[in-house]
Amino acid sequence: MPNLSERIKNMQASPIRKLAPLAEKAKKEGKKVYHLNIGQPDIETPQIFYDTIKSFNNPVLAYTGSQGIPELINSYIRYYKEWNIDFEEDEIIVTNGGSEAILFALMAVCDYGDNIVIPEPFYTNYNGFSQIAGVNVSPFLTKAEDGFHLPKKEEIVKAINDKTKAILISNPGNPTGVVYTKDEIRLIADIAKEYDLYIIADEVYREFVYDNLEYTSFMHMKDILDRVILVDSISKRYSACGARIGLIASKNKELMKNVLKLAQSRLCSPTIEQIGAAKLIETPKEYLEKVKEEYQRRRDVVYEALSKIEGVICKKPTGAFYVIAKLPIKDAEDFVKWLLTDYSVDNETIMLAPADGFYATEGLGKDEVRISYCINIDALKKAMNIFEKGLIEYKKQKGC
Amino acid sequence: MPNLSERIKNMQASPIRKLAPLAEKAKKEGKKVYHLNIGQPDIETPQIFYDTIKSFNNPVLAYTGSQGIPELINSYIRYYKEWNIDFEEDEIIVTNGGSEAILFALMAVCDYGDNIVIPEPFYTNYNGFSQIAGVNVSPFLTKAEDGFHLPKKEEIVKAINDKTKAILISNPGNPTGVVYTKDEIRLIADIAKEYDLYIIADEVYREFVYDNLEYTSFMHMKDILDRVILVDSISKRYSACGARIGLIASKNKELMKNVLKLAQSRLCSPTIEQIGAAKLIETPKEYLEKVKEEYQRRRDVVYEALSKIEGVICKKPTGAFYVIAKLPIKDAEDFVKWLLTDYSVDNETIMLAPADGFYATEGLGKDEVRISYCINIDALKKAMNIFEKGLIEYKKQKGC
């Protein structure tokens, strides 16, 4: 039998999903498991999405154009206007979720062996897309102690070399929950200019910024717009992950003309989901407001619980629905497994994501976990109680 | 501004779609254009698909598992049983159309710089996927004079070298309409064994085989099943191209375990379309029978028209809904453009696909066009009349 490719063998299994069998086993044994490991919102998808697809009555479920349906593209244009971001029709291409948008962005600016600079820890699938695109990840470190804000410029530019084509950055950050300040966005923009790089801006959590903080998009940096490739998605914003509808957008029309060739090769994004997504723009503003308030309350529950626990290092996150906590233990993955296999409170336990899978640098993140707060407040309180008691018990048992 | 990647700059625009602006212009000028250039079926999608998605009422449109929903995987298993093909649950992964399945297959067996052997002419997007995967296409030639059946073994194996990892073959063939005989499938199977290669079998047109011919799948070659990677899709079978639901399947479980990592990186295929697709298995058998009869009648209309035209070389195709015709002219692309810009019969004209975009070898296919018969019989008769008269007129005007 011929070998499989090196690139597929070298891909890591999802750190978020790889421990799923242990959770399944716990459930089979009758334990309730609170999932703090996945970013699947529990908020209801706006009804207008379902109403729209229910009234779809074309006799033939045909391909759409590769760029996406005009109604959806125009709804995106209207959406961005509210954020003071101007796009024209030929500057947006609909993608199969934010996932495909990231892959297209990497393909468009990198050849095999090129690299991209990313602050670590970062969204683990950036590794997968890089592997698929044959691109290397050159990370620079951000730390729990700093709330995962950017380090000094000299630390960032150390990661850049002559093979670097872009800086990939998510803001608000998954898995850190950081929201970069305007000065930080400006710093990255200046570095991109100085080193002649693209910026791949993953802004899928734009609507999830708490404490009335100001949000700065890379699309607000007017002097570098031809360098910015925006990656976005309706998945989190409208709690519609299963629609797999995202977009790639850029004011750099030459780039978008080329990305369209990638889009043509896979024909189109799903038709019915595009039609439903195009109507989401009509969702009342209160929907997004209420969702944000709900997540902010959850963030408070998680952060308060964490800040009470001795030895846990964690600054208050201000965006997305994740937090990374540094724990006073050596092996966070062992702790995560132990919670599923050996521990429970009233026959309930929790599942976390070990954070080392979010780092590119071997050995980092071993004492950290990512907590996702996509469950309701009551469940979250119980889950964080299990977290606290479990950590104390684990330390006692392991003698640390 | 940093350069775009070489790989994206080198991608060709879709030969099927690149002349679309000329067709748009003709329509704006009031001409009716019959589209013989695209493989978008006009047959109605089974009602059960729409009924199913209408009754979907989960409040949250969530991700599915990366492998796809069990209902859909099990419906595929049942479908293949009818074709005497046995799959188990962990041998199938749902993909975003056949497109993603091809990309996954290439990624799984090829590293950068490896190559795949393909009979040319071939589905043009194989070029796009190869470009994305960093894989070279090593073609061997099949000819209009032979009805695009396989050449002798020595011609095929000439295309194989030490970088070759797989043979990619579509059966029935797009763009040729060829259906390979059992002996031909056996020949490819034997070559794969002898040269230690995978076979990527694109069988999305399996249901479209005419004249009561027997269909042989690579999955029927029991001695090479661990080498076969099946690519399939519901797009053509159920006239549901816009659903973007396909699959990759293989009895090689180690391969499928690795492909799952690729699938995890893009999270999942669209949820609602998966749910609708899972019910398509319940479509009455008469649906597929009637669809096949309809296409066979259309094939007859196209073939009879072509066989009457002096100088046109074309064997009767027996599958899919395409035919490649070799024309007695030098520049088929010029003819295709001329039909849109300079010709009409009763203010009606046709759009064809120039065939050179379906060849990897520079210079081949310049005198060929691909005709797709996805319009109804009456329209098709009118279109073929325009084809015949147009060709005669074009030859007269161009003096050939």
**Which 3-state string (H, E, C) describes chain A?**
CCCCCHHHHHCCCCCCCCCHHHHHHHHHCCCEEEECCCCCCCCCCCHHHHHHHHCCCCCCCCCCCCCCCHHHHHHHHHHHHCCCCCCCHHHEEEEEHHHHHHHHHHHHHCCCCCEEEEEECCCCHHHHHHHHHCCEEEEEECCHHHCCCCCCHHHHHCCCCCCEEEEEEECCCCCCCCCCCHHHHHHHHHHHHHCCCEEEEECCCCCCECCCCCCCCHHHCHHHHHHEEEEEECCCCCCCHHHCEEEEECCCHHHHHHHHHHHHHCCCCCHHHHHHHHHHHHCCHHHHHHHHHHHHHHHHHHHHHHHHCCCCECCCCCECCEEEEECCCCCHHHHHHHHHHCCCECCEEEECEEHHHHCCCCCCCCCEEEEECCCCHHHHHHHHHHHHHHHHHHHHHHCC
- Closest Cα in chain A, distance from residue B46 (Å): 9
Question: Residue B347 — very low, low, confident or very high, per pLDDT cuts 50/70/90?
Answer: very high
Within chain A, which residue ranges are assigned CATH 3.40.640.10?
47-282
What's the pLDDT at A346? 97
Is the distance from CB of A198 to CB of A109 less than 8 angstroms?
yes
Count of pairs with CB atoms under 8 A, one residue in A, one in B: 232
* A181-185, B11-15, B292-296: segment of lowest average pLDDT: B11-15
Q: What is the pLDDT of residues B34-83, one digit of tens each?
A: 999 988 889 999 999 999 999 998 999 999 999 999 999 999 999 999 99
Asked whether the beta carbons of residue B241 and residue A63 sit closer than 8 angstroms, the reply is: yes
Query: What's the complex ipTM?
Result: 0.93
* pLDDT value, residue A399: 79
| Distance (Å) from the alpha carbon of A224 to chain B's nearest alpha carbon | 10
Query: Cβ separation of A108 and B134 shorter than 8 Å?
Result: no
* pLDDT 10s digits, B104-139: 999 999 999 999 999 999 999 999 999 999 999 999
pLDDT digits over A120-141, tens only?
Answer: 999 999 999 999 999 999 999 9
Residue B261 predicted with pLDDT over 80: yes
Distance from CA of B76 to the nearest CA of A (A): 20
Which residues from A are below 8 Å from B105, CB to CB?
none
pLDDT at residue A384 in the model: 98
Q: Between chains, do A2 and B259 touch, taking CB under 8 Å as contact?
A: no
Identify the residue among B1, B4, B123 best suited for mutation to test binding to A, counting A beta carbons within 10 A and taking the highest.
B4
pLDDT mean over A175-183? 98
A328 pLDDT band, cuts 50/70/90, is very high
pLDDT of residue B136: 96
- Cis-peptide, bond into residue A70, ω within 30° of zero: no
- pLDDT of A17 higher than 80: no
Q: Provide, rounded to the nearest whole percent, the portion of chain B with pLDDT above 70.
A: 100
Confidence of residue B370 (pLDDT cuts 50, 70, 90): very high
Q: Which residues of B touch A241 (CB under 8 A)?
A: 61-63, 267
Inter-chain residue contact A244 with B96, CB threshold 8 Å: yes
Please give the pLDDT value at position B14: 77
Give me the pLDDT at residue A196, please.
Answer: 97
What's residue B400's pLDDT?
Answer: 72
Do the Cβ atoms of B262 and A128 come within 8 Å?
Answer: yes
Task: Inspect the interface and report whether the beta carbons of A40 and B62 lie closer than 8 Å.
Answer: yes
pLDDT in tens, B199-251: 999 999 999 999 999 999 999 999 999 999 999 999 999 999 999 999 999 99
Residue of B nearest to A277 (CA): B61
Most B CBs within 10 A among A135, A267, A283, hence the mutation to make, goes to: A267
**pLDDT tens-digit map of B318-333:** 999 999 999 999 999 9
Tell me if B60 and A41 make a contact (CB, 8 A cut-off). yes
B8, B96, B100: residue with CB nearest A261: B8
Question: In chain B, where does the domain assigned CATH 3.90.1150.10 lie?
Answer: 6-44+286-398
pLDDT average, residue stretch A283-303: 96
In the predicted model, what is the mean pLDDT of residues B371-395? 97
> Does A70 score more than 90 pLDDT?
yes
Chain A nearest-CA residue for B236: A62
CATH domain B6-44+286-398 topology: Aspartate Aminotransferase, domain 1 (3.90.1150)
What is the model's pLDDT at position A334?
96
Is residue B18 predicted with pLDDT exceeding 80? no
Q: Which of A241, A258, A269 sits opposite B244 (nearest CB)?
A: A269
Whether the per-residue pLDDT at A40 is higher than 80: the answer is yes
Q: Using pLDDT thresholds of 50, 70 and 90, give the confidence band for residue B17.
A: confident
Residue B282 in this model has a pLDDT that exceeds 80? yes
Q: What mean pLDDT is predicted for residues A296-300? A: 98
Question: A6–B125: do the CB atoms touch at under 8 Å?
Answer: no
Are the beta carbons of B265 and A128 separated by less than 8 Å? yes
Between CA A252 and CA A266 the distance in angstroms is 22
- pLDDT at res. A391: 97
Smallest Cα distance from B232 to chain A, Å: 14
Q: How confident is the model at residue B94 (pLDDT cuts 50, 70, 90)?
A: very high
Contact A244 B268 (CB under 8 A): yes
* CATH number of the A47-282 domain: 3.40.640.10
Residue A56 with chain B: CB contacts under 8 Å: 50
Pairing of strands A322-326, A348-351: unpaired
Per the prediction, chain A carries an average pLDDT of: 95
CB contact under 8 A, A267 and B50: no
Which residue of A127, A268, A272 to mutate against B (max B Cβ within 10 Å)?
A: A272
pLDDT in tens, A190-219: 999 999 999 999 999 999 999 999 999 999
CB B112 to CB A112 under 8 A?
yes
pLDDT, tens only, A348-378: 999 999 999 999 999 999 999 999 999 999 9
Say yes or no for a CB contact (<8 Å) between A63 and B242: yes
Distance (Å) from the alpha carbon of A185 to chain B's nearest alpha carbon: 19
State both tokens at B154: 């020595």
CA of A393: how far to CAs of A33, A325, A345, in Å? 18, 18, 11
B170 pLDDT higher than 80: yes
- Chain mean pLDDT for chain B: 95
